[in-house]
Structure 1
């Protein structure tokens, strides 16, 4: 979740800020990148869109003013972060709950272009060089890079970061570093990431954007412990005031070393980012209505459709606006814990899924706003559709004996209900699947051969989902399934998720605009299924999935990648390990009318707190000046 860009160079030329020898380099693809030469960026497929002397990213306002406070509740987070509470400022380990946006305190070696799904550009590093065997990436650090205490960011810091993340980091960090042999310090402020040779060449696109931490800070503060000591960073923000579990402020660093760099211009425009924490959605909404929160992305369709009728809206002081969703693939649904024997049979999981009436739910709760999910790569070209293409069949044929024949036919799509909320046809089909999976009816219960009831619990952390799940649970009970809903507090939810202590849980996962084999293995791989805290929430463990994921290492074009991912999507759908729910084609945003933002939103990110700015005149006009 890197946030990008900044203000123009003024009278300085871009070339003057680049390391010597970079300006004349051509833009080349990662597959054909020359070895032994210093490069300003890397791209998985095709040429880099921006030359070595690019002045700024094109999707920012380089003239955006600085100032003001951006007060908000977050809509996305990473690592061990929790949007409802926090008890540590260490976001890089599994233990504890950290506040979202703590990553804004740290720089990265390279940074993504939010308009190009395959490209990253040098940031903390001034250039990157690839070895002849393509297993070593050597970075030159910018000599002006500084930690917030004024000390230089060193190659030792970078090496410490990668070696420590590999050994002790949160699974989201460590799993991507399995094939990293060593991060090694060289002379003259250079550091090498040395890989085993088993990695995909695109893995560097994920690893080069990891936050760099201070070796000195973590030698003084045990890396593995939770701590409320503000971390030493080098990024555009640093930790300011906070109250654990209530709020945290990130203050803009006025003398941020990279503020005039091309990768940083046009971002970090707010003097303060204030993240507010609420355990309940309604409390957060009431705070927004009062003006205590200034920005809100609305995920509750009923609220969006019926509750934005308070005075500030009618007076024009609060705006509602739709922004296009990103083109990045995503998955959202209820993950079934396949590690549990009662949910091990895909027919049982499919039967449970058939009890969810999306059409009724969309009409009665969502005001028809949402569309039904079907794919693990929703909203992207990677989503499978119709019968398998000849290219997909060629990939799947070697696994034919391990696959359901339906994989080769039309890709599985959840059936459309009659909208009644209790479609008898679908419930009969669900009943038949349960019987086929070995369950039998005993009185009012479905039981296994030993007489144990089929009981499933939906784990939730917000009461909002109780009403959404109520009809789903009712339908399951009609079939004899002892279904229930368990609402837990944020910290317990996080812990149970990390230890796989649940039956079914609702989640969303971003797959990435250009998925790597390593990233896909984290989400769907057999090895990740047993690692506590891994994002393979459902515990998918399939040699077919593992084999298809491994093939991603060998692709040489986006077209090849698309074919593999469509084949993978077919196989994943056939497991019924996730019950797909819904998605929106827009971001539904409400904000107090005191901000400016760039005309064009980037296609692969929505970096609001990075690229928006405080408009003093607008704020004064609505009484917020």
Structure 2
């Protein structure tokens, strides 16, 4: 239930979907111009490579791809939009606006941690590894034909550091200089206090036009498309309902190795449906051509419509990416009543996953346990000696459970009302000072323990209602609040909620900047950050910073497993569930290369329109 959200999950966003390298490795030497960078190892593709292996380099161009996006970045909203400015925290932008902008470097989705030049044909790293000089391609152009120069790159980074969305702002906190050395040379300098791998996160940021944003306020929310340089530009727009992206026929970078075989559709159209069922009905009629299904009930029972039975629609599963994921419910610790871990644990014990899986999920989904599910960063068993070396200095400042077996959520008896678990939850509330007084528990001030689950989709009522009823059974005044998409976004921006569910995937080599935005105290008060739980703990900060200092993949695994142990013991986030694959359905009119790459699945960028298939099903 619910899409896997990713801050950096789209190929056209270049290195923002990349796996960020340890610049201390031999793969990133100083003093020489490099065509690419890799974390902890060698690059797969040489300087003279012609295209990525997972694409069809000769894919035909044409056709229209109509879909509802399964993931999005920045301030984007899959249900509605009221601005075309995707770079700031406020307002709701449509997904895939990033396809209109190029970045300095782009990622290979068949490598866990490799970047190759896009706007920049190469990069040179200074001896102290704090300065990075990018050689820009002189042919780089914006859509109006004006040259994209180092001045535009420098201006972009300055804008992001001052007023950008937290995903853009936080990684630039240690940036000291963004300079156009000459029209085709850009130098980016950091203070020396930045994590080693920060540079390749920011090397994937979208580059915008200096001239455009000198004439138009950067922080404004309007429906005027910013001037871009990428493979697509904004076409037809119906605010809140439809946006079309048109392929740029004379796109300056279409034949670069990082782009060959990609961006094949003439138009990419996104249709917005506030109601899941309405979106599904549109798909069944062919008004939407590709859909990833996030509702188990619909996947199990709804795909029996005529077009599927006639073979016009394909229903299948694709392997999920080999990237850590996290789908959990954040408990807002900015509110005093949720700061006691015993209260958070009691709330978590009321969620009966076993009953939910059997009765609502039709046996699909696995129980999530980790903040880094599906990856080597998930902690299991007892901590290793290397993990203990990080944890021991924090003893007394972190839960004792972090030193034992990795915390696992309790398994219920599957009845939906496990008396043993609910009794244990009520006992925890009593220990935390919440005593039963009639129907509800109260604290010493006579205040009820209230819990409101904030949602923006009616389907969540079906999922969360049994959880709410179990909380009520032990005296918690629990409820569900359904709000519209715009209000939901604003309340998350302002951290105005009790509990809210979020799904997120990290890159395969998470950087400190990524995990800082979700777990570090610096993000706890930053509007728009993904630290929805409001975690502000120096011990957590120390483990985040240890991950940022990792000089090998083994060091990174150790640091993130240690962090995972502490987060799971604290229960700032209640893990819920995850899928080991993508459930997808599409009208059989597309071509694609198999197998899919391991580290990304941007079908709108990799697939192509197949005229013969379309004709066979009457969609030519």
Shorter-chain TM-score bucket reads: over 0.9
Matches within 5 A, 1:578-589: 578-589=573-584
| Match in the other structure for 1:108 | 103
Residues 1:396 and 2:404 aligned together: no
Task: Kindly report structure 1 stretches of 4+ aligned residues shifted beyond 3 Å.
Answer: 27-30
SS at match of 2:453: strand
SS at match of 2:524: helix
| Match in the other structure for 1:605 | 600
Residues 1:473 and 2:465 aligned together: no
In 2: Cα distance, 1:79 partner to 1:392 partner: 33
In 1: Cα distance, 2:275 partner to 2:549 partner: 46
Pick from 199, 202, 213 the counterpart of residue 218 of structure 1. 213
| Match in the other structure for 2:226 | 231
Contact 2:13 2:206 survives alignment (8 Å): no
SS at match of 2:98: helix
Q: 1:557 to 1:515 in 2, by over 3 A?
A: same
Residues 1:31 and 2:39 aligned together: no
Matches within 5 A, 1:201-212: 201-212=196-207
Q: 1:30 to 1:403 in 2, by over 3 A?
A: closer
| Match in the other structure for 2:6 | none
Matches within 5 A, 1:434-473: 434-473=429-468
Cα offsets for 1:361-411 (capped at 9, x unmatched): 010111111100000000000000011111111110001111222111111
Contact 1:2 1:209 survives alignment (8 Å): no
In 2: Cα distance, 1:243 partner to 1:380 partner: 40
Shift of 1:5: 12
Contact 1:323 1:589 survives alignment (8 Å): yes
Residues 1:569 and 2:577 aligned together: no
User: What residue ranges of structure 2 are gaps of 5+ in the alignment?
Assistant: 1-8, 15-20
SS at match of 1:176: helix
Residues 1:311 and 2:330 aligned together: no
In 1: Cα distance, 2:466 partner to 2:43 partner: 50
Shift of 1:141: 0.7
Contact 2:386 2:558 survives alignment (8 Å): yes
Shift of 1:70: 0.2
Shift of 1:421: 0.5
In 1: Cα distance, 2:13 partner to 2:152 partner: 24
Pick from 485, 493, 512 the counterpart of residue 517 of structure 1. 512
SS at match of 1:497: helix
Matches within 5 A, 1:369-380: 369-380=364-375
Matches within 5 A, 1:34-49: 34-49=29-44
In 2: Cα distance, 1:347 partner to 1:587 partner: 35
| Match in the other structure for 1:160 | 155
Q: Number of residues paired by the alignment? A: 605
| Match in the other structure for 1:19 | none
| Match in the other structure for 2:354 | 359
Pick from 271, 277, 283 the counterpart of residue 288 of structure 1. 283
Shift of 1:31: 2.1
Contact 1:172 1:534 survives alignment (8 Å): yes
In 2: Cα distance, 1:139 partner to 1:616 partner: 41
Residues 1:3 and 2:11 aligned together: yes
In 1: Cα distance, 2:334 partner to 2:505 partner: 22
Residues 1:76 and 2:84 aligned together: no
User: What residue ranges of structure 1 are gaps of 5+ in the alignment?
Assistant: 7-26
| Match in the other structure for 2:141 | 146
Shift of 1:92: 0.4
RMSD value, Cα? 1.4
Contact 1:5 1:265 survives alignment (8 Å): no
In 2: Cα distance, 1:590 partner to 1:208 partner: 34
Shift of 1:4: 5.5
Contact 2:22 2:552 survives alignment (8 Å): no
Pick from 188, 193, 197 the counterpart of residue 193 of structure 1. 188
In 1: Cα distance, 2:171 partner to 2:484 partner: 30
Contact 1:135 1:196 survives alignment (8 Å): yes
In 2: Cα distance, 1:30 partner to 1:284 partner: 48
Q: Which is further off, 28-37 or 244-253? A: 28-37
Scaled by the length of structure 2, the TM-score of the pair is 0.96
Pick from 83, 90, 94 the counterpart of residue 95 of structure 1. 90
SS at match of 1:426: helix
Contact 1:4 1:263 survives alignment (8 Å): no
In 2: Cα distance, 1:434 partner to 1:238 partner: 55
Contact 1:325 1:586 survives alignment (8 Å): yes
Q: 1:580 to 1:48 in 2, by over 3 A?
A: same
Cα offsets for 1:510-530 (capped at 9, x unmatched): 222111122211110011101
